[in-house]
Structure formats: C-alpha cells, structure tokens
Amino acid sequence: MSKKALMVVSFGTTLPDARAAIENLEERLCAAFPGYDFFRAFTSRMVAGKIEKEEGVHIPSPAELLGQLAEQGYEEVRCQSLHVIFGQEYEKLMDQLRAYKERFAVLTAGAPLLWDTPDYLRLTAALLENMPRLADDEAFVFMGHGTEHPANAAYALVENCFRYHGAERVYVGTVEGFPHLDYVLARLYRHGVTLVHLAPLMIVAGDHAQNDLAGDADDSWKSRLLGEDYSVEVHMTGLGELNAVAEIFIDHCRAAEPV
C-alpha cells in the first residue's frame, strides 16, 4: 500500500492560545482524510523560529517537510494551504511545492480560503450567522491583514459580498493595505454609527488581532475608535475556529489539483 501524507500549511502564530484555530482546521482536515498521515508546516520562518526558541518545538517549512516526506518514501502528498488569500505567502508555498513535484508520484495543492466567488459568499454568509444582530446605530468591522500583492483586492470583494447578503453596516479594513481604517471611519460616520464591533478577518486571533486591532496603544483600531467617541466591543475569534471555514478548506482539499 502506498504511503500518503496530508500536509497542512499555514502562516503560523507565536501565540499558543491563538494556535487553537489552526489546530481546529488541522483536526477537521484529518477527519476528512483518514487514510493520510498528518504533517504540519508554517510558511513564516520568523514565527517558526520564535516557537522553537521559546517552546522547543520545531515546525518545518514546506520545503523542509517535503524533503522529509520524500526521504520517508511517501508517494502521494496532498497539501492544503490555510492562507486566507492567494497572496505572497501562498505563492511562496506553491514555489516550494513545484520544486519537489518530481519526487512524488502525486503532489496536489488545495486553494486558500478565498479562491473563487462561491468561497467569498460562503465565508460572508457564515460570518453573518455568527454575528450579533446589529441595531441601527451599530456596525461590525473586520480587520484583514492586507498586502502589496494584487490579491489585496480580495478584501474589497469580501465587503461587497456582505452587501450582497443585505448587510449594509459590515465593513472590512486591513492593517497593511486598502481599504484602511480611514476608509472604515468614513463609512461609520456616514451611517451614524455609535457602537462598533471589531473582529479579525484572519485565521488566528494572533499578534495583529491582539495588538493592531484590540491593543491599548494609541494607534490600535480600538483606541482610534474610542478616540472618535465610538463605543467598541471586540470579538477575538479567528476564522479557523469556525466549522464553516473548515468546510471550505476541506472542499478545497478534496478538489486539490496537481502542482
């Protein structure tokens, strides 16, 4: 019988509590593919390096893990990305996979969370189901990571999909791209909002969520909103904690295509 590996790859996080969101997705993927041996890899070497230094746990890069799987005689490797968009980290993963494709009889890769329009509609519908019902003076604001990569356009599509579902006061901003917080603030002012719900649009409620979104520094989103006299409620839940998000990844893994 051929040896088969399920390789689940995420950016990673240095916060142990936030890592539970990644573990939830890994566990759900393992349950969906019982005939495969499970392996974890992180694309962020900074994150992996800090975990090894502080916790004594080594988490390989995708390339390192692929080399190990080839040496151990695995013939089929099914790789599933846990990235949100098809940005720089996903491209980095795909480059590493392509370098090893000749070493396996079968090497497939599943798409990140947001790949085609149905993914956006499924995600936004699931998020709406988990949100509190908003009063007329309330809004819900999601913080995405953002990137210089053209895939940054994904965040605007997420917000437009909320509009498609009829959610007029759900907004999406990013830490490192557009839409930025100033865009969100303008929308809040225009709609007469007084109470803002904040949540990360990220797999984990990690460093960006703890600091850039909800931290006490003057430039955090929470602090800036409070400074504009909004009331703020923070919902510190990573996308990876939602079973509906796990189902999207499972479907992508089932539809994985050869590298």
Peptide bond between residue 132 and the one before it cis (omega within 30 degrees of 0): no
> Is 145 a known active-site residue?
yes
**How far does Cα 114 stand from its chain's mean position?**
9
* Two tokens, residue 58: 């080594």
Largest distance between two CA atoms of the chain: 64
Judge contact between 237 and 127, C-beta under 8 A. no
174-177: long-range contacts, CB 8 A cutoff, minimum separation 24: 174/143, 174/144, 174/145, 174/146, 175/143, 175/144, 175/145, 175/146, 175/208, 175/212, 176/145, 176/146, 176/147, 176/148, 177/144, 177/145, 177/146, 177/147, 177/148, 177/152
Of the listed 58, 83, 145, 149, which one is catalytic?
145
Please list, in sequence order, all residues whose beta carbon lies within 8 angstroms of the beta carbon of residue 219, skipping any fewer than 6 positions away: none
Q: Residues for the chain: how many in total?
A: 259
Q: Which residues are catalytic?
A: 145
